[in-house]
Every structure is written in structure tokens, then in C-alpha cells.
Structure 1
Amino acid sequence: MGEVRTLLGGRGLVESPRWHGGRLYFSDWSAGEVVAVDLDGGSEVVARVESLPLCTAWLPDGRMVIVSSADGRLLRREPGGDLAVHAELGEPGWNDIVVDGRGNAYVNRIGFNPMAGEEVKPGFVFLASAGGSVREVAGDIDFPNGMAVTPDNSTLIVADSYRSALVAFDIGADGGLSNRRVWADLGEGVPDGICLDAEGAVWYADVPNQRCVRVAEGGTVLDVVELDRGGFACALGGPQGTTLFVVAAEWRGMTEENPVAPGSGRVLATEVEVPGAGWP
């Protein structure tokens, strides 16, 4: 395990890290920006969407898709940078996204407005298929957050933050989900964004516990990266696939006007032993 270094700082509520084409892409929800940063810390804004949440994924053909939660749409970034509607999701409230190797996009939504202090109602996972249809494929997830798909496209793993668990589903030929099960009970862990590695373990970022944790199926803790602020999401990438990127910020609270301390958002990086696998 290498030291944790800061790749980029001075940001707001940072989320959705994705390694693609030699750079890390992440979202700054506070600014409504999708940003690309290279390993030397050089960055550029690649898209602007006023939406909170604001999560992204990559289609197999190399185009980015962006969840515009505010207007219930999945947008697609064309090669010239223009944004087109990829799918109509419906009412607002969408959160994270993962696209599998077949181009099927899984997008989850929370069943209540946590920022308004509403009572908890379970959320859902929807499938925006490569063929263009949109349908619900899973429900009864208290607070659906990060998602990942195994390299063989057979399993979707969803972080349920409020139940302190990673939940898994088998993915059918039509993209549907079945055989729901608890992949890992995380005890006191509060999983947010997640990623998979080549040994089948999951890294999850944890805001209240200020760390990233690597767990095996069943919940055995394999590794921990301690942070000095809340960890919102993590991704594996870099030249060898063994750089763990973490987006982190000083958390104030869901119902605060500024949920994180302005300017406290950072993109962190550290080296680990096992490279990333699957999606994102």
C-alpha cells in the first residue's frame, strides 16, 4: 500500500470517479461539472450539467453518459462535446450509474429526498437497455449508491448505504436481475461509491468512517485506506490498473445548505496490489 497523495484539490462535493483513456474523470456536484484530471494533476472541465446528483459512466463505444437527475434524463456526450438524450428515465431523484460490457445502463434512484429530511422510503434500480427501453429491475434498497458489474457481465453489486450492505443480483440475458442476495454485510460500514478488482473483491468508500475498505464476498475485510475526510467513491485505474483513486471531502450533513465544506473536495490516489476489473 502506497501513501495517499492529493492529485487535485479545491473542489466541492466530488463523486463518480471513472478511469478512462489515461485520465480520471469525476463529477463536482457543487459546481455542476464533469472534470478530467491526468496523473500530473492537470485538469479540464469536459461537461457542465446542473444536477445533484451528477454521475457518469462510459458506453462500450467510448462515449460518456451522464445522469441528469434534475430532469430525469440520461444524457450522452457526443465526440464533439455536445450532449444528447440517451434515455428518458422519468421523475427526478436519480443517483448512480454503471454500464456493463453490453451497453446496458443500470441507474438507481432513492425513494425519498434526504436533503429535505424526508422519511426513508426504499429505492430502486432501473435498466436503460442498449436497445433503448427503460424499466425497473430491482427495488427495496434503502439507499442505493455505488454499483459495479463483474467482468463476465453476470453480476451486479449495489451498495445499500443505510443497510450497511453490498447486495448482489444475477444479470439475465435480457439485462434483468434475479437471485437477490447479500454479497457482504459490512457491520458499521456505510458504503457509497464502489469498484471491483481482479480477485473479485470490492473497494467501497465510506463518508462517516472516513476510509476506503476492501472486502471479500461474505464481508471479510482485506484492506483499509484511512482518510482525513469523508470518502465518497473510489475507482481503480492508472497505467497498471493498481492506482486506487478516491474522491473525498469534509462532510457537514445531508440537510445542510452546503453538504460539504466548500473547497474541501479532493481527488486522492494511492497504489494497491490488485488491479481493477469489471465496470465501472
Structure 2
Amino acid sequence: MMLHRLTELASGHRFLEGLRWHESALWASDFFAGTVLTFAPDGVATTVAEVPGAPSGLGFLPDGTPLVVSQADATVQRIGPDGSLSIYADFSPLAGGPGNDLLVAPDGHAYVGNFGFAVGTEEPKPTALAHIDPLGAVHRVDGEVLFPNGMALAADGRLLLAETFLHRITAYDRATDGTLSNQQVWAQLPETFMPDGIALDTDGGVWFGNALTTGDDAGFFRVVEGGELTDKVPVTGAQAVACAFGGDDLATLYMSCNATTLEEFVQGQSKGAIATASVGRTGLPR
């Protein structure tokens, strides 16, 4: 397995998630601070919006409008130029727990997951993805998923999804009307691997944060279809959570690393940082 070294870019945050590269800036949500941030090349953060319901997944409509998941009420919110929020879609009827990650496709169809249960007080249980069409209508995606997390569109048009508690990357066929079907296992990972946020490279690999551990398997990994692990960016003293390729040439892997435990997470305690690595790959535009 090829190893890569990370470099810390920014620290002093709490729990960073939902990394996206958009218009020459890295975007991230800070769960516990309740803020959506952008990061300059030197790591300086700017607050774009405050989300009382705790921000999670981020995405951008075809016209560039930012969207953010509000965890507590399981809604997707538009972010206005002044940082104001307005409801874009309410997927709470389909959510068994707090809202989670978000993917907005270039055609305006969006997909959003939810925890499916209350972390720390309930046992994990299956839930469903929500498909939000370009008019803002919410549809249930057929099939159950267990703790759906990061999502991305592959070069062949399939939607890839990290199912954290099933230790796998799942794929769906995606129709021209945005509907998902033919749920399939794209890569089954070892049981010590809990994939969180994902990013795709142009060679067909999926990079993912191996969350919920600070042990020997802590880090960001690259996996190819079928399950072979090819690369690792080790992380020490923190959980590897979300990642995104960025920079003008999409050749830098940005990563969020959060120092917390499950018990501390439930209490809203975490120390978050952004790191970068050159991994010899170029990101697939999202």
C-alpha cells in the first residue's frame, strides 16, 4: 500500500465535515460550532452562514446557490449571499435520525442521507436516502441503507455511497430523471473500516475517511471497485472524517481530522483541523 504524508492547514475548529471544493475555495461545515466555513489557501477561515440546527452536508445548485443540510430538523437549506437561510427541501418524513451528507448532481438532482437513529442512545438501524428533484420535491430512494454517509458521482454515472456501519461503498445506477436503482456493493471493506466522507479520483478510485477510530487504521484510504486498498494517508490522534480534491488542478486532497471519541461526540466535544496531502492523483470534478 502506498503511504502519503499529510500537512496541517488549519486548526482551532470543532467538528469539520462535508468538505467541498467550489469556486477556488474549500467549503466545510463545523457541526458543533454551527457554522459553514470557507478556507483560503493559507488556512484562514471565513464564516459563510450560521446554522442553528447544526450544519452537515454541503452542495451547490447548477446556478451556484449553496445548499446545506440542517441536521436537527432534517432539512436542506439555501444559503443566501448575505448568509441567510431558507428551506429548500424538508426530508424529515423520511429521516430516522439527524440529517447527514448531501450530494448535488450537475443536473440539479440532490441526494441526502440521515443517521437513521440517535447516536449514543439507540442501536443502529436502517434508513433510506432521500432524492430531491430540481423542483425541491422529496422522494424516497428504494432500498434500505445503514448509516449512509459520503456520496459522489462516478465517471460511469453511478452514484457511490459510503455505508459506514456496513463497512462498504455501495453503488446505484442513476437514471436521467435522477432516480436511483440497482443497489449494489461496489467495494466491501474489512470490518475495522468505517467509511465516512468520500472523494473520487480520475483513475476510478474512491478516497474515504476511516472514521470512528484513532488506532492503527486511522487515516484516509483509497479503494478501487472490488475492495482492493491501494493508498493510505495516516492520521495520528484524530478521526479521519471527510475529504475532497481541490486546488486549481484538483491535485490536492483536503481532509478533515477531528480529535474526539464517540462519548465526546455525543456531548459535542471535538477539536477539528483541515489537512492536505499530495497523493499523485487528480480529483474527479463533483
Shorter-chain TM band: over 0.9
Post-superposition CA distance 1:192-215 (Å, at most 9, x none): 000111111100001213200001
Match of 2:108 among 103, 127, 132: 103
Q: Which position in structure 1 is the counterpart of 2:87? A: 85
Gaps in structure 1 of 5+ consecutive residues: none
Match of 1:47 among 46, 49, 74: 49
The offset of 1:259, in angstroms, is 5.1
Matched, 1:165 2:168: yes
Q: Which position in structure 2 is the counterpart of 1:64? A: 66
Matched, 1:210 2:218: yes
Matched, 1:149 2:153: yes
Q: 1:151 & 1:33 partners in 2: Cα distance?
A: 32
Q: Which position in structure 2 is the counterpart of 1:276? A: 283
Q: Size of the alignment, in residue pairs?
A: 275
| Corresponding letter in the other structure for 1:247 | S
The offset of 1:79, in angstroms, is 3.0
Which secondary structure state, in structure 1, belongs to the residue aligned with residue 143 of structure 2? strand
| Corresponding letter in the other structure for 1:258 | Q
Q: 1:122 & 1:17 partners in 2: Cα distance?
A: 25
Q: Which position in structure 2 is the counterpart of 1:36? A: 38
Q: 1:114 & 1:2 partners in 2: Cα distance?
A: 32
Q: Which position in structure 1 is the counterpart of 2:23? A: 21
| Corresponding letter in the other structure for 2:282 | P
Which secondary structure state, in structure 2, belongs to the residue aligned with residue 123 of structure 1? coil
Q: 1:190 & 1:49 partners in 2: Cα distance?
A: 27
Q: Which TM-score applies when normalising by structure 2?
A: 0.91
Which secondary structure state, in structure 1, belongs to the residue aligned with residue 144 of structure 2? strand
The offset of 1:3, in angstroms, is 3.5
The offset of 1:110, in angstroms, is 2.4
The offset of 1:156, in angstroms, is 0.7
Report sequence identity in percent: 34
Q: Which position in structure 1 is the counterpart of 2:196? A: 192
Q: Which position in structure 2 is the counterpart of 1:245? A: 254
Gaps in structure 2 of 5+ consecutive residues: none
| Corresponding letter in the other structure for 2:254 | F
Match of 2:235 among 221, 227, 237: 227
